[in-house]
A and B are shown apart, each in its own frame.
Chain A
Amino acid sequence: MNLNESDTEINEVIKAYPPERQNSLPIMQDLQKKFGYIPRNAFKKIGLYLSCSEAHLYSMATFYKALSLVPQGKHVIRLCDGTTCHIKGSVQLRDEITRLLGIRDGETTSDRLFSLQLVNCIGTCAIAPAILIDETYYGKLTPADLPAILNKYRKMEEEREKEIEKESGMENGEKNEKEEAS
Chain B
Amino acid sequence: MTRTILVCCGTGCRANGSMDVSLALTAAVAAAAADANVCCVTETGCSGLCELGPLVRIMPDDIMYYRVRPFDAHEIIQKTVLAGEPIERLLFKDSSGNHVLHQADNPFYGHQKKIALRNVGIIDSRSIDEYIAHGGYSALARALEMTSDEIIREVEESGIRGRGGAGFPTGRKWRSAAVLESSPKYVICNGDEGDPGAFMDGSIMDGDPHSVLEGMMIGALAIGAEEGFLYIRDEYIQAVKSMKKAIRAAEKRGLLGESILGTNRKLYFSVVRGGGAFVCGESTALMSSIEGNVGEPRAKYIHSVEKGLWGCPTVINNVETWTNIPFIINAGGKKFAEIGTEGSTGTKVFALVGKVKYTGLVEVPMGITLRKLIFEIGGGIPNNRKFKAVQTGGPSGGCIPASLLDIPVDFDTLKEYGTMMGSGGMIVMDDHSCMVEFARYYVNFLCGESCGKCTPCREGLRHMQSILTNICSGYGREGDIELLEMIGSTMIDCSLCALGSSAPNPVLTTIRYFRDEYEAHIREHRCPAGVCKALTAFSVNHATCKGCMACNAVCPTRAIVRLNGGFPIITKSCDGCGSCRDVCRFNAIEAVKGGRV
Residues of chain A whose beta carbon lies under 8 Å from any beta carbon of chain B: 20-26, 29, 50, 52, 56, 59-60, 63-67, 78, 80, 82-89, 91-92, 95-96, 99, 119-128, 130, 132, 135-140, 142-144
Contact = CB atoms under 8 A, between A and B. Distances in A.
Contact of A127 (B50, B289, B442): B50
A120 B445 contact: yes
Contact of A92 (B16, B441, B579): B579
Pick the most buried of B197, B274, B290, B391: most chain A CB atoms within 10 A of its CB. Answer: B197
Contacts of A120: 194, 196, 278, 445, 449
Given A63-B275, A64-B275, A84-B427, A144 B554 contact: yes
A26 B273 contact: yes
Nearest to B430: A87
Contacts of B197: 82-84, 121, 125
Interface in B234-254: 234-237, 239
B12 A20 contact: no
A84 B275 contact: no
Given A66-B234, A87-B433, A125 B278 contact: no
Interface residues of B, number: 63
7 contacts: A22-B290, A59-B294, A80-B196, A83-B395, A89-B579, A92-B556, A121-B194
Nearest to A63: B294
Closest 7 CB pairs of A and B: A64-B275, A82-B196, A126-B50, A65-B276, A121-B196, A137-B15, A123-B199
B292 A25 contact: yes
Contacts, number: 161
Interface in B56-82: none
A66 B354 CA distance: 26
A140 B15 CA distance: 9
B272 interface: yes
B275 A29 contact: yes
Interface of B: 11-12, 14-16, 50-51, 53, 193-199, 202-203, 234-237, 239, 272-278, 289-295, 351-355, 359-361, 391, 394-395, 425, 427, 429, 433, 438, 441-442, 445, 449, 451, 554, 556, 575, 577, 579, 582
Nearest to A125: B353
A109 B194 CA distance: 29
Contact of A126 (B193, B236, B239, B360): B360
A142 to B, nearest CB: 7
Nearest to B239: A123
B438 to A, nearest CB: 7
B556 to A, nearest CB: 6
Contacts of B445: 120
A85 B12 CA distance: 13
B577 to A, nearest CB: 5
B468 to A, nearest CB: 14
A24 to B, nearest CB: 4
A92 B577 contact: yes
Contacts of A20: 292
B427 A64 contact: no
B202 A123 contact: yes
Contacts of A92: 556, 577, 579
A125 B202 CA distance: 12
A143 B556 contact: yes
Contact of B235 (A26, A88, A119): A119
B441 A86 contact: yes
B361 A25 contact: no
A83 B394 CA distance: 8
B556 A125 contact: no
Contacts of B11: 122-124, 137
B275 A126 contact: no
Nearest to A78: B235
B275 to A, nearest CB: 3
A95 B556 contact: yes
Contacts of A78: 235
B292 A22 contact: yes
A88 B195 CA distance: 17
A82 B235 CA distance: 13
A155 B251 CA distance: 43
A124 B199 contact: yes
Pick the most buried of B198, B354, B425, B577: most chain A CB atoms within 10 A of its CB. Answer: B354
Nearest to A88: B354
A127 B234 contact: no
A63 B435 CA distance: 30
B284 to A, nearest CB: 15
A121 B235 contact: yes
Contacts of A91: 577
B15 A138 contact: yes
A135 B237 contact: yes
Nearest to A67: B275
A139 B53 CA distance: 11
A17 to B, nearest CB: 11
Pick the most buried of A65, A86, A122, A125: most chain B CB atoms within 10 A of its CB. Answer: A125
Nearest to B234: A66
A39 to B, nearest CB: 18
Contacts of B351: 125-126
B275 A66 contact: yes
A182 B449 CA distance: 66
Contacts of B361: 126
B310 to A, nearest CB: 9
Nearest to B355: A87
Contacts of B14: 137
Contacts of A80: 196
Contacts of B193: 123
A87 B579 contact: no
A126 B556 CA distance: 25
A139 B353 CA distance: 13
Contacts of A121: 194-199, 235
A64 B195 contact: no
B326 to A, nearest CB: 23
